[in-house]
Amino acid sequence: MAAEEHAIDALGQFKLTTALGPLGASVNFTQSNLMMLISGLLILGLMYFGARPQAVVPGRLQALAEMAYEGIRKMCIDQIGEEGKAFFPFVFTLFMFVLIGNLLGLLPFSFTYTSHIAVTLALAMTVIVLVTVVALRIHGLHFFSYFFPTGAPKLLAPIIIPVEIISYLSRPVSLSIRLFANMVAGHVMFEVFASFILMMAASHALGSFGVVGAVGPMVLNVLLMGFELLVAFLQAYVFAILTCIYLHDAVHLH
């Protein structure tokens, strides 16, 4: 088969290599870490240069910074209530880190750090540990009544309590896998359609028709890029809003 010589290497793009030459190699500084550093600097730069002009009619950068800030602040207060103001910095940091990571990954020759389960699981575990600590601090041992909803018949306790505990423990898993799988699936799709372009254009059987036909997957890839921009924003938003919902549960217990 002719396709064998252009086998699709869909997962090769997620391989970690060391960045910054021999210095990076000596401390295992990967390109994933480099992208995290860049995204951190970008976020700091956006907030610093966006907040500095303090114009009444904001410029582009200031409008972007204010939109992100006010949007997430409103989401925190809507979802958690007045206590949400205390958690706003945490949720905003998470949102920006995930959003910039997703968007940076769409640039050619870059790397999506959110496409690694290690990164997303670490973020999700941070959220869950914080939620549990907050709940224990506010409610003390009363927190454990969370696992048995008030008003449920006592007879059902042996069934409800294990189910509630499992659903509580599965939160970090679903939170991390959602983000990681979305990113992996998107980038694998890019890779597959990009391979189709090469396979069609290089095919001997199709000849010059193949070169014309290769426009098809090319157009699809362009459309996919638009879709992935949406997904990049949506997943960051979902990550932040689920964090808010979990925090609401911790603060108010149902």
Partner 1 sequence: MDVAAAKALGAGIAVIALAGVGIGIGNIFSALVTSVARNPSARDQVFGLGILGFALTEAVALFALLIAFLILFT
139 part of the interface to partner 1, by CB under 8 A = no
- The DSSP output letter for 28 is T
Distance from C-alpha of 35 to C-alpha of 104, rounded to nearest angstrom? 8
**Closest listed residue to residue 146, CA positions, set 164, 162, 133:** 164
To 10 degrees, the CA torsion angle through 16, 22, 26, 29? -40
Pick 61 or 238: Cβ nearer partner 1: 238
Residues ≥6 apart with Cβ < 8 Å to 121: 172, 176, 180
Query: How far is it, in rounded angstroms, from Cα 188 to Cα 192?
Result: 6
CB of 245 to partner 1, least distance (A): 8
CA 169 to chain CA centroid, Å, is: 20
Residue 177 in the binding site for partner 1 (CB under 8 A): yes
DSSP 52: S
- Is 67 near partner 1 (CB under 8 A)? no
Q: Does 168 bind partner 1 (CB under 8 A)?
A: no
Cβ atoms 102, 227 nearer than 8 A: no
For partner 1, give the closer residue by CB, 76 or 214: 76
Q: Which stretch binds partner 1 (CB under 8 A): 51-59, 85-93, 180-188, 205-213?
A: 180-188
Q: Which of residues 213-242 bind partner 1 (CB under 8 A)?
A: 234-235, 237-238, 241-242
Q: How far is the CB of 170 from partner 1 (least distance, A)?
A: 11
The answer to the question of residue 185 lying near partner 1 (CB under 8 A) is yes
Minimum CB distance to partner 1, residue 229 (Å): 15
Are 178 and 238 within 8 A, CB to CB?
A: yes
Beta strands in the chain (DSSP E): none
Specify the residue, 214 or 236, whose C-beta has the smaller distance to partner 1: 236
In one letter, which amino acid is 131? V
- Supply the minimum distance, in Å, between the C-beta of residue 189 and partner 1: 10
> How many chain residues are in contact with partner 1, going by CB under 8 A?
16
184, 199, 200, 214: residue in contact with partner 1 (rule CB under 8 A): 184
Residue numbers at the binding site for partner 1 (CB under 8 A): 10-11, 174, 177-178, 181-182, 184-185, 188, 234-235, 237-238, 241-242
